[in-house]
């Protein structure tokens, strides 16, 4: 009940939000006018009766990270509807609530419209409108001073980016052209541990083939609410006794759990113990695919010995996970009985616990023991259609120093560890100062655990530049704001989507860019034009290699050939680059198809079929790329006429790991970095929840994309604010009723939020959705709506990859 | 003439509300939680943690049931609510006097007030936005991630909806009231 049962009840819960209605009127104005115009003709709107010019333009959605294909209906230059584009295999002819709400993002009156320069104190939110040239001039003056003072150490410029099709355009400008190594992106607050865990173990993260799986363990992954394509669409058509058996392991009863055959509520942070115990079951009972393991798993016997020696029994795990030993046994047996069409789902946002990386390793090995790797119905790698190349020269900077937080975890890659990086800046342990900060399409004020520290970091900077579409909390902390065009107004780099049914898809503008906004490629170009010469002068002063080069070859040539012209490569339009990337590989006709249809793959016109109103076929079955890894079928020692060897996957394959086998043990990693070679439960890394207190967990929602959609009028219509899930009996004991305001306090801060008492969560856990609680006063609808989880999530990270551990925070709850 | 109906494979529903938002955008419905033509009903789960009954929970996408014997039409004093030739129950805003009898009469809670047109409005299977332009699906069917809905002509024995209804068990909501809905829930 409460927030979601009946329509009437829903109304009761939301009538106070008159602000939605008020702004709605404003944002829906264009549409309303059309409606009334059409009313004269008929009862309702008919596009052909009033529209002089109707266009249907294919594009790609950017309301979240999935990039679903959409067809925009544009009437007289006004976007009136976004519909799904059936041609794209990845999005399977659908557009979710957020995809539909893209129109509201376009029409949002709070959008960033013009370049801005701060006039008040940092964070005060006072800006003046300037021209692009004035903004870039301001940035140039600051950059020249900073880089000169830092003696051409380009890494003094820190930069971050959120996920997006133009992320690479931005990151290569900041990293390859300007030359800073201090990049942080979404990886370390999202999926770094699972990508790394699966890649090191299987040779790739792969794709769960949920369209064909018979059995899946969804642990913590909530595909009904955190939509991932095509996983979400493939799964839920076959749940509830319709072909896909699903076990959901989650501390909460989610919408995904509502589709499960079995729901196993687990103690937060103990998933590794659960997987190790299931591994113990199938190893001691010898229920795994022996041939596959013998042929394809390295150090399997050592792992077996490890699991048994450590005594990871179901009884051991029951005491830790709270899941009954018999349920662990049954799940493990059931999984192997369905293998190889059985998947332990890899997970997406896996920044959970301090042991997350080993958890993902254990999952990958457990899945592999069933043989369902590179196999239809298991984890597949699929194919990716190649695109042409577009490369530009990038300068070498002698004085650009290594990233500052490199030593803070065993293996910190090019995209960094957000928390470690930020904390290194504010705790004074950085080997050199990071003095400027650029943000693109990321809102670290709300997205990184411990908002207070992010603010502190931004306050330390001599220059903060933010590129975005909305006046986020991070924009409020900026010195210079550069407004990006909305996804519906711009062309982005063409993208190839791998999988069993690979394709290429394109985002093109469906309406003209409004206000004084630009796509990232043009923002980088303009900055490049402005910065190239002055920054080159600084390098000339400090960079000895450059000085030698100039002496040998002359300044003009070095400047051009070595890529010191920062704008080169950004001067072509995105369309020109995309044209080259596609036509150079697939020809002009392919390019034409891609632009007209939004999607291209070889033989699309031949393969693509409409099967029914709801079903499409993208490739014929024999053309789908389920198994792509080459292998030798060594039939002799296992001659067995009773089974189809291909079906039980006994090929000896060459996986893309160092040993060409699925890696049970990573001894080198242990030797060099002290990371456990094999998944091992570390009780010292597990924090039990003290009596009377709660572990806080966060999560996603199908009508809300992090803080990015927090000001969307239509989505707020569906989900007006976040609520604190708290166990009903605990709430009763504390006198907390639905809708009461409660305080949630952790060691780093406190927030206030409305309560949602429910039996769908255990007694020692509380939860609310990420992304609400914006402070920015420029976000009319999002301002002070709901609560910001990162104001209370402690800034701890696991020490293998520096990934945030967002579910390690203990909180207290009290009614206010 | 066609007679339109809809079959709902409601077990596939994940309560993502894509249909609700597509409906609003397609039909230009004002924002506000009390203004919507379609919605997803959520059955509250029974039991106490951790012993919850999964089968007691579930999602039930709903909207105007397009009754063949529509109580809202019977009580309408001005005939603003009428049956279209294709069986769709529609509303003529020119004739609606906002008496709200239809809101009271509808056993499915499917009518709402559109403040802009001053009409007690309802789902019309996208008659004036899509069907009139020759489209063969409603906005809610087209956009649905798990493809819950099948829209089509009940009088055409070869239509997809007719084939599905012949092949699979189904029920309608509150059948005992004799409203003869043209929405069918596939079981």
pLDDT over 90 (residue A47): no
C-alpha–C-alpha distance, residues A22 and A24, integer Å? 5
Which H or E run contains A511?
none
For residue range A728-755, what is the model confidence (pLDDT) as tens digits? 999 999 999 999 999 999 999 999 999 9
Contact A594, A582 (CB under 8 A): yes
**DSSP string covering B57-101, please?**
-EEEEEE----SS-HHHHH-TT--EEE-TTS-EEE-TTT-----H
pLDDT at A229: 95
For residue range A299-325, what is the model confidence (pLDDT) as tens digits? 999 999 999 999 999 999 999 999 999
To the nearest whole angstrom, how far is the Cα of B25 from the nearest Cα of chain A?
6
pLDDT over 90 (residue A654): no
pLDDT over 50 (residue A604): yes
Q: How many domains does chain B have?
A: 1
C-alpha–C-alpha distance, residues A628 and A383, integer Å? 7
For residue range A505-556, what is the model confidence (pLDDT) as tens digits? 999 999 999 999 999 999 999 999 999 999 999 999 999 999 999 999 999 9
Contact A344, A378 (CB under 8 A): no
For residue range A129-180, what is the model confidence (pLDDT) as tens digits? 999 999 999 999 999 999 999 999 999 999 999 999 999 999 999 999 999 9
**DSSP string covering A708-722, please?**
TTTT-HHHHHH--S-
Surface of B (126-185) touching A: CB under 8 A: 127-129, 132-133, 136-137, 139, 141-147, 149-152, 160
pLDDT over 70 (residue A399): yes
C-alpha–C-alpha distance, residues B95 and B68, integer Å? 21
Contact A62, A68 (CB under 8 A): no
Number of C-beta neighbours around residue A741 at 10 A: 12
Mean pLDDT rounded to a whole number for chain A: 91
pLDDT at B32: 84
Among A1, A7, A35, the residue with its CB nearest the CB of B28 is A35
Q: Which residue has the higher pLDDT, A632 or A702?
A: A702
- Which has the closest alpha carbon to A467: A782, A160, A248, A233? A160
pLDDT over 90 (residue B133): no
In CATH, what number does A198-383+633-680 get? 3.40.228.10
Could you tell me which residues are beta bridge partners of residue A129?
A116
Indicate the length of chain A as a whole number.
816
Number of C-beta neighbours around residue A36 at 10 A: 13
C-alpha–C-alpha distance, residues A509 and A496, integer Å? 18
Which domain CATH number covers B82? 3.30.70.20
C-alpha–C-alpha distance, residues A657 and A644, integer Å? 27
Number of C-beta neighbours around residue B152 at 10 A: 24
For residue range A22-33, what is the model confidence (pLDDT) as tens digits? 233 333 333 333
- Using the 8-state DSSP alphabet, how is residue A306 labeled? H
Could you tell me which residues are beta bridge partners of residue A765?
A695
> Cis before residue A340, ω within 30 degrees of 0?
yes
Query: Contacts of residue A260 in chain B, CB cutoff 8 Å?
Result: 54
* Angle subtended by helix axes A314-321 and A271-284, to nearest 10: 170
Q: φ and ψ at A488, to 5 degrees?
A: -80, -5
In CATH, what number does A687-815 get? 2.40.40.20
Number of C-beta neighbours around residue B168 at 10 A: 12
Could you tell me which residues are beta bridge partners of residue A73?
A56, A81
Residue B26, chain A, CB below 8 Å: the answer is yes
Mention every residue, 6+ apart, whose C-beta is less than 8 A from residue A335. A215, A217, A278, A282, A342, A344, A366, A370
For tokens 């306090």, the residue is A745
pLDDT at B1: 80
Distance in angstroms between the alpha carbons of the first and the last residue of chain B:
29
pLDDT at A53: 83
C-alpha–C-alpha distance, residues A515 and B77, integer Å? 50
- Which has the closest alpha carbon to B19: A57, A84, A230, A723? A84
pLDDT band (50, 70, 90) for residue A627:
confident
pLDDT band (50, 70, 90) for residue B34:
confident
Which residue in chain B is spatially nearest to A100 when comparing CA positions? B22
For tokens 């809670």, the residue is B109
C-alpha–C-alpha distance, residues B177 and B187, integer Å? 20
For tokens 């290429």, the residue is A504
- Which has the closest alpha carbon to A231: A249, A253, A194, A256? A256
Number of C-beta neighbours around residue B98 at 10 A: 12
Among A43, A322, A717, the residue with its CB nearest the CB of B92 is A43
Please give the structure tokens belonging to residue A643: 């089974």
pLDDT over 50 (residue A35): no
Residue A101, chain B, CB below 8 Å: the answer is yes
C-alpha–C-alpha distance, residues A51 and A78, integer Å? 10
pLDDT over 50 (residue A46): no
Structure-derived torsion over alpha carbons of residues A469, A195, A223, A331, reported in degrees to the nearest 10: -170
Please give the structure tokens belonging to residue A630: 């080459």
**DSSP string covering A138-181, please?**
HHHHHHHHHHHHTTT-GGGEEEEE-SSTTHHHHHHIIIIIS---
Radius of gyration of chain B (CA): 17
Please give the structure tokens belonging to residue A713: 């009028």
Please give the structure tokens belonging to residue A284: 């001691």
For residue range A448-459, what is the model confidence (pLDDT) as tens digits? 999 999 999 999
Fold of A131-179+394-484+519-561: Rossmann fold (3.40.50)
Surface of A (209-268) touching B: CB under 8 A: 224-225, 227, 232-233, 236-237, 239-240, 242, 253, 255-261, 263, 265
pLDDT over 70 (residue A722): yes
- Give the pairing of strands A631-632 and A183-185: unpaired
Q: Which residue has the higher pLDDT, A12 or A412?
A: A412
Beta-carbon contacts below 8 Å between A and B: 214
Q: Do B139 and A35 touch (CB under 8 A)?
A: no
Burial label for A102, CB within 10 Å (0-12, 13-18, 19+), is buried
For tokens 């133009």, the residue is A166
pLDDT at A470: 97
Which H or E run contains A584?
helix A574-586
Query: Contacts of residue A36 in chain B, CB cutoff 8 Å?
Result: 116
Say how far residue A597 (Cα) sits from the centre of its chain.
26
- Give the pairing of strands A809-815 and A694-699: antiparallel
Number of C-beta neighbours around residue B85 at 10 A: 8
C-alpha–C-alpha distance, residues A180 and A401, integer Å? 8
Mention every residue, 6+ apart, whose C-beta is less than 8 A from residue B166. none
Query: Contacts of residue A231 in chain B, CB cutoff 8 Å?
Result: none
Contact B125, B142 (CB under 8 A): no
pLDDT at A634: 52
For residue range A187-210, what is the model confidence (pLDDT) as tens digits? 999 999 999 999 999 999 999 999
C-alpha–C-alpha distance, residues A9 and A18, integer Å? 17
Q: Do B33 and A11 touch (CB under 8 A)?
A: yes
Contact A286, A362 (CB under 8 A): no
For residue range A102-111, what is the model confidence (pLDDT) as tens digits? 999 999 999 9
* Angle subtended by helix axes A520-542 and A544-553, to nearest 10: 90
Residue A109, chain B, CB below 8 Å: the answer is no
Residue A417, chain B, CB below 8 Å: the answer is no
| Cα angle value A126/A132/A135 (rounded, 5°) | 50
Quote the domain boundaries for residue B57: 4-186
Which H or E run contains A12?
helix A7-14
Question: Average pLDDT for residues A241-258, to the nearest whole number?
Answer: 97
At residue A676, the 3 state secondary structure works out as coil
CATH 3.40.228.10 spans which residues of chain A?
A: 198-383+633-680
Distances from the Cα of B63 to the Cα of A264, A644, B37, angstroms? 34, 49, 6
Estimate the share of chain A in helix, then strand, then coil, as percent rounded to the nearest 5. 35, 15, 45
Provide the sign of the torsion angle of the four alpha carbons B96, B5, B127, A15, taken in this order.
positive
Mean pLDDT rounded to a whole number for chain B: 95
Residue A48, chain B, CB below 8 Å: the answer is yes
C-alpha–C-alpha distance, residues B166 and A378, integer Å? 34
Query: Contacts of residue B31 in chain A, CB cutoff 8 Å?
Result: 20-21, 23-25, 27-28, 713-714, 717
Question: Average pLDDT for residues A582-600, to the nearest whole number?
Answer: 97
At residue A427, the 3 state secondary structure works out as coil
Sheet of A262-264: strand order equals A262-264, A245-249, A215-219, A342-344
Please give the structure tokens belonging to residue A574: 């995105």
Mention every residue, 6+ apart, whose C-beta is less than 8 A from residue A580. A388, A390
* Angle subtended by helix axes A325-338 and A271-284, to nearest 10: 60
- Which has the closest alpha carbon to A332: A268, A293, A266, A284? A284
């Amino acid at each position: 009940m409460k927030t979601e049962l009946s329509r009437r009840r829903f109304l009761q819960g939301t009538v106070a939000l008159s602000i939605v209605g008020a702004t709605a009127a404003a944002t829906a104005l264009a549409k309303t006018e059309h409606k009334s115009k059409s009313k004269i003709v008929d009862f309702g709107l008919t596009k052909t009766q009033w529209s002089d010019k109707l266009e249907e333009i294919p594009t790609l959605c950017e309301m979240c990270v999935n990039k679903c294909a959409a067809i925009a209906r544009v009437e007289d230059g006004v976007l009136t509807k976004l519909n799904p584009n059936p041609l794209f295999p990845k999005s399977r002819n659908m557009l979710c609530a957020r995809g539909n709400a893209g129109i509201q993002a376009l029409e949002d009156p709070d959008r960033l419209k013009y370049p801005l320069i701060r006039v008040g104190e940092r964070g005060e939110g006072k800006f003046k409108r300037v021209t692009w040239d004035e903004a870039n001039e301001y940035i140039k003056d600051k950059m020249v001073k900073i880089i000169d003072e830092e003696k051409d150490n380009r890494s003094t410029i820190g930069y971050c980016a959120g996920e997006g099709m133009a992320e690479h355009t931005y990151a290569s400008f900041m990293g390859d052209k300007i030359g800073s190594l201090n990049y942080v992106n979404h990886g370390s607050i999202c999926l770094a541990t699972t990508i790394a865990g699966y890649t090191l173990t299987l040779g790739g993260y792969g794709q769960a083939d949920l369209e064909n799986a018979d059995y899946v363990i969804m642990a913590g992954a909530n595909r009904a609410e955190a939509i991932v394509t095509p996983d979400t669409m493939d799964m839920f058509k076959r749940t509830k006794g319709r072909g896909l058996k699903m076990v959901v392991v989650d501390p909460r009863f989610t919408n995904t759990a509502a589709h499960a055959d079995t729901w196993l509520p687990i103690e937060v942070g103990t998933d590794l113990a659960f997987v190790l115990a299931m591994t113990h079951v199938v190893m001691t009972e010898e229920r795994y695919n022996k041939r596959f393991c013998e042929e394809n798993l390295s150090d399997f016997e050592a792992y077996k010995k490890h699991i048994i020696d450590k005594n990871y029994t179901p009884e051991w795990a029951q005491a830790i996970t709270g899941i009954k030993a018999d349920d662990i046994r049954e799940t493990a047996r059931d999984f192997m009985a369905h293998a190889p069409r059985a998947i332990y789902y890899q997970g997406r946002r896996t920044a959970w616990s301090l042991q997350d990386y080993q958890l993902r390793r254990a999952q990958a090995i457990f899945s592999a023991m069933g043989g369902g790797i590179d196999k239809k119905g298991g984890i597949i790698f699929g194919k990716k259609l190649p695109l042409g190349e577009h490369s530009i020269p990038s300068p070498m900077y002698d004085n650009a120093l290594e990233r500052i937080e490199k030593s803070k975890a065993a293996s910190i890659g090019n995209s960094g560890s957000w928390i470690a990086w930020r904390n290194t800046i504010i705790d004074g342990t950085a080997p050199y100062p990071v003095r400027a900060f650029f943000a693109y399409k990321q809102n670290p004020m709300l997205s990184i655990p411990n908002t207070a520290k992010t603010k502190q970091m931004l306050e330390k900077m001599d220059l903060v530049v933010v590129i975005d579409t909305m006046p986020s909390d991070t924009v409020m902390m900026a010195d210079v704001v550069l407004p990006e065009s909305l996804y519906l107004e711009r062309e982005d780099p063409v993208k190839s989507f791998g999988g069993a049914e690979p394709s290429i898809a394109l985002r093109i503008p469906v309406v003209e860019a409004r206000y004084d906004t630009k796509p990232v490629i043009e923002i980088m170009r303009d900055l490049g034009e402005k910065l190239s010469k002055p920054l080159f002068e600084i390098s000339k002063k400090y960079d000895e290699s450059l000085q030698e080069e100039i002496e040998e070859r002359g300044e003009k040539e070095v400047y051009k050939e070595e890529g010191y012209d920062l704008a080169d490569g950004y001067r072509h339009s995105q369309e020109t680059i995309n044209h080259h990337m596609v036509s150079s590989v697939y020809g002009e006709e392919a390019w034409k198809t891609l632009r007209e249809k939004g999607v291209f793959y070889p033989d699309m016109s031949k393969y693509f079929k409409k099967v029914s109103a709801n079903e499409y076929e993208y490739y014929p079955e024999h053309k789908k790329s389920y198994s792509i890894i080459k292998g030798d079928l060594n039939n002799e020692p296992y001659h067995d006429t009773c089974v189809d060897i291909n079906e039980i996957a006994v090929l000896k394959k060459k996986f893309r790991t160092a040993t060409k086998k699925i890696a049970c043990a990573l001894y080198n990693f242990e030797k060099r970095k002290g990371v456990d070679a094999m998944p091992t439960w570390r009780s010292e890394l597990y924090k039990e929840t003290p009596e009377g207190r709660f572990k806080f967990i966060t999560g996603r929602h199908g009508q809300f994309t992090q803080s990015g959609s927090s000001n969307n009028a239509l989505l707020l219509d569906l989900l007006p604010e976040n609520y604190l899930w708290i166990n009903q009996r605990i709430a009763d004991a504390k006198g907390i009723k639905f809708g009461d305001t409660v305080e949630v306090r952790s060691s780093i801060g406190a927030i206030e939020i409305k309560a949602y008492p429910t039996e769908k969560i255990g007694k020692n856990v509380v939860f609310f959705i990420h992304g609400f609680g914006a402070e920015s006063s420029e976000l009319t609808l999002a301002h002070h709506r709901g609560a910001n989880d990162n104001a209370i999530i402690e800034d701890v990270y696991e020490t293998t990859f520096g990934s945030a551990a967002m579910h390690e925070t203990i909180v207290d709850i009290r009614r206010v | 003439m066609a007679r339109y109906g809809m079959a709902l494979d409601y077990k596939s529903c994940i309560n993502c509300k894509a249909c609700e938002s597509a409906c609003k955008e397609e039909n230009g419905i004002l924002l506000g939680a009390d203004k919507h033509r379609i919605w997803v009903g959520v059955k509250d789960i029974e039991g106490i943690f951790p012993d919850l009954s999964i089968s007691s929970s579930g999602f039930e996408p709903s909207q105007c049931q397009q009754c063949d014997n529509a109580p809202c039409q019977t009580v309408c004093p001005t005939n603003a609510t009428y049956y279209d030739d294709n069986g769709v129950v529609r509303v003529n805003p020119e004739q609606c006097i906002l008496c709200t009898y239809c809101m009271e009469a509808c056993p499915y809670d499917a009518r709402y007030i559109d403040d802009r047109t001053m009409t007690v409005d309802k789902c019309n299977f996208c008659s004036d936005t899509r069907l009139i332009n020759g489209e063969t699906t409603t906005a809610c069917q087209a956009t649905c991630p798990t493809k819950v809905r099948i829209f089509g002509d009940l009088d055409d024995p070869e239509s997809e909806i007719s084939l599905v209804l012949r092949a699979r068990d189904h029920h309608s909501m509150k059948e005992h009231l004799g409203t003869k809905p043209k929405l069918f829930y596939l079981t």
